A and B are shown apart, each in its own frame.
Chain A
Amino acid sequence: MATTTLPSPPQKVNRIGLEVAAYKGNKTTLCAGCGHNAITERIIEACYEMGVEPYRVAKLSGIGCSSKSPAYFLRSSHGFNAVHGRMPSVATGALLANRHLLPIGVSGDGDTASIGIGQFVHLMRRNMPIIYIIEDNGCYGLTKGQFSATADLGSVLKTGVVNDLPPIDTCALAIELGATYVARSFSGDKRQLLALLEGAIAHNGTAMLDVISPCVTFNDHEGSTKSYSYVRDHDEPLEEVSFVPFFEDISVEYDPGTTTDITLHDGSHLLLKKLDSGYDPTNKGEALRALTESHDKGEVVTGLFYVETKRQNFIELLNLVEEPLATLPESRVRPPQSALDEVMAGLR
Chain B
Amino acid sequence: MATTHVAVSEIEAEQGQQRIVNDLSIQVATVNGSGSQSSNLVLLRAIFQMGIPVSGKNLFPSNIAGLPTWFTIRASKHGYIARRKEIDFLVAMNPETAEEDVRSLEPGAAVVYAEQLNLNQIRNDLTFYPVPFDKLVAPVCPDAKLRKLVRNMIYVGVLARLLGVDMAEVEKAVRKQFKKKVKAAELNFNAVLAGYDYAEKNLEKADRCWLEPMDLTAGKILIDGNSAAALGCMFAGVTVVTWYPITPSSSLCETLISYMKRYRIDPETKKATFAIVQAEDELAAIGMVIGAGWAGARAMTSTAGPGISLMSEFVGLGYYAEVPGVIFDIQRVGPSTGLPTRTAQGDIISTALLSHGDTKHILLFPCSVEECYSLAIEAFDLAEEFQTPVFVMSDLDLGMNTWMSDAFPYPEKPIARGKVLTAEDLERLGGFQRYRDVDGDGIPYRTLPGTRHPAAGYFARGSGHDERAIYSERPEVYVNNMDRLRRKFETARNRVPGPVLERDHGTAVGIIAYGTSHWAIVETLDQLKREHGIEAGYCRIRGYPFNDQVADFIGRHERVYVVEQNRDAQLAGLLRLDLSDDLVKKLRRVLHYDGLPIDARSVTDSILAQEAER
Contact = CB atoms under 8 A, between A and B. Distances in A.
Answer whether A and B are interacting partners: yes
Interface of A: 53-56, 58-60, 70-71, 74-83, 86, 88-98, 100-101, 118-119, 122, 318-322, 324-328, 330, 332-335, 337, 339-340, 343-344, 347-348
B85 interface: no
B220 A89 contact: no
A59 B266 CA distance: 31
B448 A93 contact: no
A101 B456 CA distance: 14
Contact of B266 (A94, A332, A348): A332
A90 B271 contact: no
A334 B237 contact: yes
A60 B274 CA distance: 23
B290 A82 contact: yes
A70 B294 CA distance: 17
A273 B12 CA distance: 97
13 contacts: A76-B454, A76-B457, A79-B457, A80-B291, A93-B292, A96-B242, A97-B294, A98-B450, A100-B450, A118-B284, A122-B284, A330-B237, A333-B298
Contacts of B293: 93, 97
B240 interface: yes
A78 B271 contact: no
Interface residues of B, number: 74
A94 B283 contact: no
A326 B235 contact: no
A86 B283 CA distance: 8
B223 interface: yes
Contact of B461 (A81, A122, A327): A81
Contact of A78 (B219, B223, B458): B458
B462 A82 contact: yes
Contact of B235 (A101, A324, A335): A335
Contacts of A340: 231, 235, 408, 410
Which 3 pairs show the lowest CB-CB distances between chains A and B?
A93-B291, A89-B287, A326-B296
A78 B283 CA distance: 23
A96 B240 contact: yes
Nearest to B274: A325
Interface in B479-528: none
A94 B237 contact: no
Given A83-B314, A122-B280, A94 B273 contact: no
A97 B239 contact: yes
A100 B273 CA distance: 15
Nearest to B280: A122
B295 A93 contact: yes
A326 B269 contact: no
Contact of B299 (A80, A83, A93, A328): A93
B200 interface: no
Interface of B: 219-223, 231, 234-240, 242, 259, 263-264, 266, 269-275, 277, 279-281, 283-299, 313-314, 317, 321, 407-408, 410-411, 414-415, 447-463, 471
Contacts of B291: 60, 80, 82, 89-97
A54 B279 CA distance: 29
A346 to B, nearest CB: 9
A53 B284 CA distance: 28
A296 B297 CA distance: 47
Given A78-B458, A101-B449, A339 B240 contact: no
B290 A93 contact: yes
Contacts of B290: 82, 89-90, 93
B385 to A, nearest CB: 15
Contacts of A58: 295, 449-450
Nearest to A60: B291
B263 A320 contact: no
Given A55-B452, A344-B221, A80 B459 contact: yes
Contacts of A56: 450
B221 A347 contact: yes
B457 A320 contact: no
B8 to A, nearest CB: 28
Given A83-B314, A327-B296, A96 B457 contact: no
A47 B410 CA distance: 48
Nearest to B459: A79
Given A93-B291, A119-B284, A343-B259, A334 B298 contact: no
Contacts of B461: 79-81
A343 B263 CA distance: 10
A77 B287 contact: no
B451 to A, nearest CB: 6
Nearest to A332: B273
A76 B456 contact: yes
Contact of B284 (A86, A95, A327, A332): A86
Contacts of B235: 334-335, 340
A12 B248 CA distance: 60
A79 B458 CA distance: 6
Contact of B264 (A78, A100, A335): A335
Contacts of B313: 83
Which of A95, A328, A334 is the most central at the interface, judged by chain B CB atoms within 10 Å of its CB? A334
A329 to B, nearest CB: 9
